[in-house]
A = this chain, B = another copy of it.
């Protein structure tokens, strides 16, 4: 191993030195997963911030297909980095706090060994002789760099798209080398649709007469038409349909004037022509082939069983994010990985971020307040210093109350929370369904519980949950909880949420399956005030405190304690304890709970 100053490894125009990139050269041959070897590897990389003395603050960033080592500016007058909005001082990946490493990937064309590098054995660029590489090979090279920097264990590995594949490989194949994994807008493997787009793009390059079987370097010709076609296609898949409508629809027949040999008749056409033409100026077609093939070959497991097996090896904490309008790497694909992690009992947070920006969302500022803040909170948690450090055990905590935009009773003391906390044995593992900002879980964490998981639908609440140091998975309770294993938790809590769920039967069935004990709290329709109101000819107003009326309440299920007891009897559900509360009076109810309690807490099991 030797460190060389950065130099272009061949004469072709793509291997331009990036101003701040350093280069490490590894002379030990790299054996490749699909056979073959590379005799020598150069890695171009950039770093930001300072490695601490314990070497525990390093964050590795993996770039996507057409990215490079220049993830962010090093100084104000530097060229823009591709993730300036995320990486830098006080940014979500805060370079005042973390030591950030971003290498150009194996197979790329920006200083790391790739098809345009000089093949030491032939003395000319590899071209078509560059072997088939995989995400595993790319990670193997990243590992050499991390070793070279003297880092045993990365704080986190972060990457989107193809970079997310690298994160998944790191976490599952090198579990000891990282504390946290952040795969963004990625998948265990491509959909056949995404794969098909890659195939068409590669065909456009491979059948371009200027491709010359890949040995076009130095011929004065390159498959720029094919590469441009591939890039145009890529661009369509990176944008959302809505995003394209907003960008191009109004001026559909009024294209910008663009000088191109491609069609420029429509506004979207002139955009694509411009993008296609420009791409060839900075990217090498052989790298495009090599990296898109690595992506297409990536396979963390495309059956549920194989995915589960791969995931079981991981030992880090996880944060996954997808974007609702991403149709190239779809939310369901991230959810499959989350499901496997959940099933394996691994600590995972997940958010499917409401976005109009498609696959590119993680590179754009629009959704930064969500994905950036999730990354910031997650890294802080890995670091053992959650963003919210107020004494969460204090139930009257005004700060936490203010954070709870969706919680019921948010401005008041939660008597029902107190009682639920009392019902949970010390040290129990707890799954909180509809956890809001994580107020109940934070109290349990302060009491020393180790295994706590929250499920929450509201995006901002998920952010707050992470800021409290919790693991929160964004999910719709109506969609079921199939990923969780039988008996996976000591306690499953459903607090003041039952009445808002359409398919009560399924949800309760799931709770009983997943938890040794389940705790449900709900408003009691047979409470005396409600009876009185109906007697007067009016429908009971449950949730009237929050200003809800019959025509706009979030509640869609109405039941009494007696109804619930009958339901449990019919379904063979054991009720172990009922805690009846009058939250108006602020006390427990002793006699006639179905008349005197407005809120009921039930402890059940199968």
Contact = CB atoms under 8 A, between A and B. Distances in A.
Interface string A189-221: 101110111011011101101000000000000
Nearest to A190: B252
A228 B200 CA distance: 9
A262 interface: yes
A248 interface: yes
B534 A248 contact: no
Contact of A537 (B299, B552, B595): B595
B550 A266 contact: no
Given A245-B192, A252-B302, A272-B196, A539 B558 contact: yes
Interface in A505-539: 505, 525-526, 530-531, 534-535, 537-539
Given A263-B206, A504-B552, A559-B550, A196 B236 contact: yes
A557 B562 contact: no
A409 interface: no
A27 interface: no
A241 B239 CA distance: 17
Contact of A193 (B191, B202, B241, B265): B241
Contacts of A265: 199, 296
B232 A229 contact: no
Nearest to A229: B204
A419 interface: no
Interface string A281-310: 000000000000000100100100000000
Given A203-B232, A207-B262, A526 B538 contact: yes
B525 A192 contact: no
Contact of A196 (B197, B268, B530, B556): B268
Given A266-B296, A551-B567, A200 B557 contact: no
B538 A560 contact: yes
Contacts of A191: 241, 244-245, 249
Nearest to A232: B200
Given A199-B272, A539-B558, A552-B505, A252 B192 contact: yes
A399 interface: no
A233 interface: yes
Contacts of A540: 534
A79 interface: no
Contacts of A504: 551-552
A19 interface: no
A199 B244 contact: no
B551 A526 contact: no
Contact of A192 (B203, B268, B299): B268
A225 interface: yes
Contacts of A418: none
A476 interface: no
Nearest to A535: B531
A269 interface: yes
Contacts of A545: none
Residue of A249, A330, A503 most packed against chain B (CB within 10 A): A249
A247 interface: yes
B209 A209 contact: yes
Contacts of A266: 195, 199, 296
A379 B519 CA distance: 58
A563 interface: yes
A95 interface: no
Contacts of A530: 534
A594 interface: yes
A78 interface: no
Interface string A467-485: 0000000000000000000
A220 B327 CA distance: 41
B537 A269 contact: no
Interface in A241-286: 241, 244-245, 247-249, 252-253, 261-263, 265-269, 272-273, 276
Nearest to A270: B199
Given A209-B209, A236-B193, A558-B558, A263 B537 contact: no
Contacts of A232: 196, 199-200, 203
A302 B267 CA distance: 14
Contacts of A247: 192
Nearest to A293: B265
A198 to B, nearest CB: 9
A202 B264 CA distance: 11
Given A263-B203, A539-B526, A552-B504, A244 B534 contact: no
A43 to B, nearest CB: 28
B200 A229 contact: yes
A266 B295 CA distance: 13
Contacts of A244: 191-193, 196
A465 to B, nearest CB: 27
A595 to B, nearest CB: 7
A68 to B, nearest CB: 25
9 contacts: A192-B267, A196-B236, A199-B272, A203-B272, A209-B209, A252-B302, A505-B551, A535-B535, A539-B559
Given A203-B262, A502-B556, 20 more contacts: A191-B241, A191-B244, A192-B245, A192-B252, A193-B236, A195-B268, A196-B268, A199-B268, A199-B269, A200-B229, A200-B232, A204-B229, A206-B262, A206-B263, A207-B262, A266-B296, A534-B534, A537-B594, A538-B560, A539-B560
